[in-house]
Structure 1
Amino acid sequence: MNLIHNIGAIFIFAPFLAFILLILLTRKKLKRRAIGLSADVTTFLLFISVPVSMKALWDVNISFAVSVTAIIIAIILLIIEWKKSKEIEVLKYARKTWRLYFLLLSMSYILIWLTGLALTLISFI
């Protein structure tokens, strides 16, 4: 049981390890779709990882802000999709939204850790 907790903690604090591992495990079978599947799984991990990283580095809780931002983005994308085509393909819309979450959360994660690293280096100087 302790091993499962440790693996979970590693993937929460380093979700891109899961991304790379999934690509390596699924690339032969899924070919190009391996990246999409890896991004989908990593997005779920990033939804957990970004608030946990903020809490660990600066003791700031942003879980609610991340959730509200995700809902607002989904609403905005839904309105845009509805204006473009009156009939919304739910699966296509969900995939676009989820992949946008991946991009935004990935950039947030990288920015949080680069800022934390820079502040840590500055504190040692």
Structure 2
Amino acid sequence: MLTNILGALLLFPFIILVVLIIVAKKIGLPKKKRIGWAVDWTTPFMVLTVLILIRAIWDVWLPILLIGVVCLIAIGFAVIERSREKEFRSSWVLRRTWRAYFLLLTVAYFLLFIIGITVQIIRYLN
């Protein structure tokens, strides 16, 4: 039973996101910060979910790929910050990187979910 619940939470990280938004409301975070706080805490679960989906579909383990992507996003935001501002704000770069990474992982999650279902249907038909 507990394994099924944990599996569902890992497979559907948006359940965790909704629960964290509710928790943020209960602990009294302002409306403007609730979503950001919940997204920040859901991102590690999204990383795990995307890694698990990649492993399930193609039987490869690619954590280095995900680490490389987050590094490239951070470099891009650092270049933007350096060209715009006189004073470099690393906290701005890290926050933007983490949230952009969440958005990228969300897109990857939906694409992998559709690809996984399609691959399973094709395997079933053959």
TM-score calculated relative to the size of structure 1: 0.84
Helix, strand or coil: the match of 1:32?
Answer: helix
Unaligned 5+ residue runs, structure 2? none
Matched residue type, 2:48: I
User: In structure 1, what is the Cα distance between the partners aligned to 2:86 and 2:48?
Assistant: 34
Matched positions, count = 123
Question: For residue 25 of structure 1, what is the aligned residue in structure 2?
Answer: 23
How far apart in 1 are the matches of 2:43 and 2:9?
Answer: 12
TM-score relative to the length of structure 2? 0.84
Structure 1 stretch 97-106 or stretch 25-34: which is displaced more?
A: 25-34
SS in 2 for 1:60: coil
RMSD: 2.1
After superposition, the Cα gap between the structure-2 partners of 1:87 and 1:7, relative to the gap in structure 1 and judged at 3 Å, is farther
Cα distance in structure 1, aligned partners of 2:12 and 2:77: 28
1:104 aligns to what?
A: 104
Take 1:80 and 1:97, find their aligned partners in 2: how far apart are those partners? 12
Gapped regions of structure 1 (runs ≥ 5): none
1:19 Cα offset (Å) = 0.4
- Aligned partner letter, 1:61: W
